[in-house]
Amino acid sequence: MLKAYKYRIYPNKEQQVEIAKTFGCCRFVYNQTLAYRKEKYENGKISVNKIDCNNYCNRELKKAYEWLKEVDKFALTNAIYHMDAAYQKFFQEHAGYPKFKSKHDTHKSYTTNFTNGNIEINFENRKIKLPKLKKVKAKFHRVFYGKIKSATISQVPSGKYYVSILVETEHKEIPHVNCEVGLDLGLKNLCITSDGRKYKNPKTLAKHQRKLAKLQRQLEYKATWNGRKYIKIDTFYASSQLCSVCGYQNADTKNLYVRRWICPKCGTDHDRDVNAAKNILAGGLGQIA
Ligand SMILES: [Zn+2]
């Protein structure tokens, strides 16, 4: 299954120049190979295919215009293949004859292919490695798992840059389970589950907050990915004050130092965080019921 993931990227000045150059070269080979194809057809009824056009680019154009060799070669081949797709559409769907691309075209993009690790993503450091550009700053609002096939770099009229990554995923949905778990992403332990498991806390608060936000994103993503429901309950939910057994509200537990308490109404001995996680589970289930 192929899936595309689009992210905003923030190329530096040098990288912006390289991207602009690649847009220009792609437009150039698109127009040149379209003209070549048109000329061949009009002057001899010779039909050429995309491979012929690509060969023409490599053998003739790159000799005549040496600067074409400076940009990513996959971008050029893909520009020629895009031209071919427009040409095929013209024949098969009686769409308009492919237009030559103008310098003033607002749709600027090029596509490069993955080979030997030339495209790499580092979700942690918020960087993406792209051919000829090296590491580009990026904003990853979601993660993905799978093999990268290609990357399309684009710039919208407002000037913002994006990268769309095509990923091949071998995703098998995991079998459905009748098991829900409440998670309390708290301060003392990073994560407490309603069945009593605790996952260790990070060292510093700043690091903690970053990790927490990331963990929440990952949980949500993984849940959706696996066909599970992910329900986020707002922070004001009084999860640590309510007895998860009888519903008694115990204001004493507002104090964060109260780690263990016995419910005055039903007598249940509570671990503060596990009780909170149980309430969160109940709250979450209430929302989907
Ligand atoms: Zn109780």
- One domain for residues 201 and 99: no
* CA 263 to centroid of ligand 1, rounded, Å: 5
- One domain for residues 141 and 21: yes
- One domain for residues 154 and 212: no
Beta-sheet strands, E only, within 118-199 = 120-122, 127-130, 134-139, 147-155, 161-168, 183-184, 191-193, 198-199
Last residue of a domain, one of 144, 168, 192: 168
- Residue 61 DSSP label: I
Last residue of a domain, one of 138, 168, 198: 168
Q: Does 45 map to a domain?
A: yes
pTM: 0.61
Q: Does 206 map to a domain?
A: yes
- One domain for residues 252 and 133: no
Query: Which residues contact residue 174 at a Cβ distance below 8 angstroms, ignoring those fewer than 6 apart?
Result: 226, 227
Q: Does 173 map to a domain?
A: no
- One domain for residues 149 and 189: no
Taking only the tens of pLDDT, the chain with its 289 residues reads 888 999 999 999 999 999 999 999 999 999 999 999 999 988 988 889 999 999 999 999 999 999 999 999 999 999 999 999 988 888 788 777 888 988 888 889 999 999 999 999 998 889 999 999 999 999 998 888 889 999 999 999 999 999 999 999 876 655 556 666 766 665 555 566 777 776 665 455 556 666 667 777 777 777 777 677 777 766 556 778 889 999 899 888 887 788 899 999 999 999 988 888 888 888 777 776 6
- One domain for residues 162 and 244: no
Last residue of a domain, one of 126, 141, 168: 168
- One domain for residues 205 and 240: yes
- One domain for residues 50 and 126: yes
Q: How confident is the model at residue 211, as a pLDDT?
A: 66
* CA 229 to centroid of ligand 1, rounded, Å: 28
Planar angle of CA 191, 192, 193, nearest 5 degrees = 120
Q: How confident is the model at residue 265, as a pLDDT?
A: 92
Q: Does 175 map to a domain?
A: no
Q: Does 276 map to a domain?
A: yes
Domain with 154 in it: 2-168
* CA 110 to centroid of ligand 1, rounded, Å: 62
Q: How confident is the model at residue 284, as a pLDDT?
A: 76
* CA 230 to centroid of ligand 1, rounded, Å: 27
- One domain for residues 161 and 187: no
- One domain for residues 119 and 196: no
- One domain for residues 131 and 31: yes
Structural domain tally of the chain? 2
* CA 275 to centroid of ligand 1, rounded, Å: 10
- One domain for residues 163 and 189: no
